[in-house]
Amino acid sequence: MTKKADRDVEKAYSVKQTVAKLRRLAECMETGKPFKIQVAGERISVPATAVFNIEHEREGNGEELEFQFKWKN
């Protein structure tokens, strides 16, 4: 099995796209199914057992709020 390369990418979505993705995510979480999404050309399957957390960062006059899922393969 080949190891996947490290990566750190951001992808911006329109409000309509974001809402659709959040609805699919919520449905997967409620039904215990993995959430599947493609980000910057790579298909990702987030397992139902992934840990969810919210991170808030503030630096100078900028702020960031991240909704994160973490899991090990």
Give ∠ CA 30-34-39 in degrees, rounded to 5: 115
Of residues 55, 44, 49, the one with CA closest to residue 29 = 49
Query: Which residues partner with 54 through β-bridges?
Result: 67
Give the global pTM.
0.80
Quote the pLDDT of residue 33. Answer: 97
Q: What does the pLDDT look like over 21-56, one tens digit per residue? A: 999 999 999 999 999 999 889 999 999 999 999 999
